[in-house]
Amino acid sequence: MNGILEFLSVADSFDTRQQAKVLHRLSDIIGISLFETIANANDPEEIEVFCKAQESFLREYFALENGIPSHDTIERAFEMVSGEYLEGLQHRFNELLSANEGNKIRKILAIDGKTQCGNASDTQKANHIVSCAYEDGFCLSQELVDDKSNEITAIPELLGSLSIKGHIITTDAMGCQRDIVKKIRQKRADYVLALKGNQGTLFEDTALYFADKEILAGCSYHKTIEKARGGVEICEYWHTDEISWLSQRKNWAGLKSIAMTRNTITKKGKTTTQIRYFISSLPCNVKEVGPGYQKTLDGRELSLATRRNL
């Protein structure tokens, strides 16, 4: 944390205000905003509210001689700081979050591609961005690509720029590629990847395996029930590491288990069911890995819309 605080002190050199009238140091404003963005505060108004609620904690790191700045002051402060500096600050903070300091927490990092709405024109296609975000939606990094088909080449580059050791990487079926799996394992991370029919018979073999009721009964099982999307959602997970029969297992670096999820949503008297399949480098522990499956397939929980970057 000391390295972050030292880097924050550099922000004061960007301050163009009349120092005699300054009530809040620029480094303090940027610093508390960094903390509150982790708590999903996405604009100056939200940052002000969160900072006031957490003022005693923030004072452990920042002087805050005149209390919490207003949202207007926060907004003006960011106008004085260069994008390169803020990018460097975010990079350092990402490294801190991924470091082996304190109690290590295994995080779910979700990679997804999104096409930005509203920025296309007659002469320009809409931007397509591949992002990596924590499960709470905080964006770690992103790559601009020409279109969705280029996600496959962009994901390894994105992974190469991040410290992902010990964490769980999730992607949709587009990211279920052998080279991407190899990159994840080289970076000493684990993966939970959605399957579709883009990998030979792997999808069909997995689906046939879980279609056997006797086999399914022997798998590790977990179930959750919650209110969601104006209805009731039942999420069921089956997980197994009995994959000696899987002919393609050696083609996937670190592959240890496969899984099936069944999501049943009842809303306004109508019930819909969706079944999906996954491969994973994690051992059989459905209660730990289950959330990784859900983060992979559920855009509502994942919230991968890119957060405002510091």
Domain presence at residue 176: yes
pLDDT tops 70 at residue 224: yes
- What is the predicted pLDDT for the residue at 220? 92
Q: What is the pLDDT of residue 138?
A: 64
Looking at the structure, tell me whether residues 298 and 245 fall in a common domain.
Answer: yes
Q: Is residue 307 part of a domain?
A: no
For the segment 4-27, the average pLDDT, to the nearest whole number, is 83
**pLDDT at res. 185:** 95
CA dist list (Å): 75 to 63, 65, 70: 20, 19, 9
Which of 77, 98, 119 lies at the terminal end of a domain, its last residue? 98
Instruction: Look at 95 and 201; give whichever has higher pLDDT.
Output: 201
Please give the average per-residue pLDDT across 3-31, as a whole number.
Answer: 84
pLDDT digits (tens, 9 = 90+) for 34-76: 877 666 566 888 888 888 888 888 898 888 989 998 999 888 8
Domain assignment present for 50:
yes
Within this chain, do residues 113 and 223 fall inside the same structural domain, yes or no? yes
Burial 271-310 (b: 16+ CB within 10 A, else e): eeeeebbbbbbbebebeebbbbbbbbbbeebbbbeebeeb
DSSP conformation letters of 217-251: HTSEEEEEEEEETTEEEEEEEEEE---TT-TTGGG
CB 108 within 8 A of CB 126: no
Residue 239 is assigned to a structural domain of this protein: yes
Query: What's the order of all strands across the beta sheet hosting 257-267?
Result: 139-145, 128-134, 108-115, 168-171, 190-194, 270-280, 257-267, 231-240, 220-228
Residues 179 and 263 in one domain: yes
Q: Kindly indicate the confidence band of residue 240, based on its pLDDT and cuts at 50, 70 and 90.
A: very high
Residue 135 domain-assigned? yes
Distance in angstroms (rounded) separating the CA atoms of residues 269 and 279: 33
Shared domain check, 245 and 286? yes
- Mean pLDDT for the chain overall: 80
Domain count, the chain: 2
Check: CB of residue 202 under 8 Å from CB of residue 248.
yes
Residues 71 and 119 in one domain: no
Q: Would the pLDDT of 277 be above 50?
A: yes
Whether residue 171 contacts residue 180, with contact meaning beta carbons closer than 8 Å, is answered with yes
Q: Are residues 82 and 117 in the same domain?
A: no
Instruction: Say yes or no: 84 and 231 in one domain.
Output: no
The answer to whether residue 308 is domain-embedded is no
Q: Express each pLDDT in 180-202 by its tens digit.
A: 999 999 998 999 999 988 788 99
Question: Has residue 130 been placed in a domain?
Answer: yes
Q: Clarify whether residues 88 and 114 are in a common domain.
A: no
Q: DSSP characters for 252-304?
A: STT--EEEEEEEEEEETTEEEEEEEEEEESS-S-HHHHHHHHHHHH-HHHH--
Is the alpha carbon torsion for 17, 20, 24, 25 positive or negative? positive
Q: Which of helix, strand or coil describes residue 132?
A: strand
175 & 295 share domain:
yes
| 123 in the same domain as 247 | yes
CB 282 within 8 A of CB 289: yes
Residues 74 and 137 in one domain: no
Q: What share of the chain is helix, strand, coil (3-state, %, to 5)?
A: 40, 25, 35
Provide the domain limits for residue 40. 2-98
Which among 35, 64, 98 is the end of a domain?
98
- Return d(Cα 306, Cα 14) in angstroms, integer: 26
Examine residue 310 and state whether it is found in any structural domain, yes or no.
no
Stronger pLDDT, 101 or 238, i.e. the higher one: 238
State whether 282 and 263 are in the same domain: yes
Distance CA 241, CA 237 (A): 14
Choice among 57-61, 169-173, 284-288 with the minimum mean pLDDT: 284-288
> Domain boundary residue among 65, 98, 131?
98
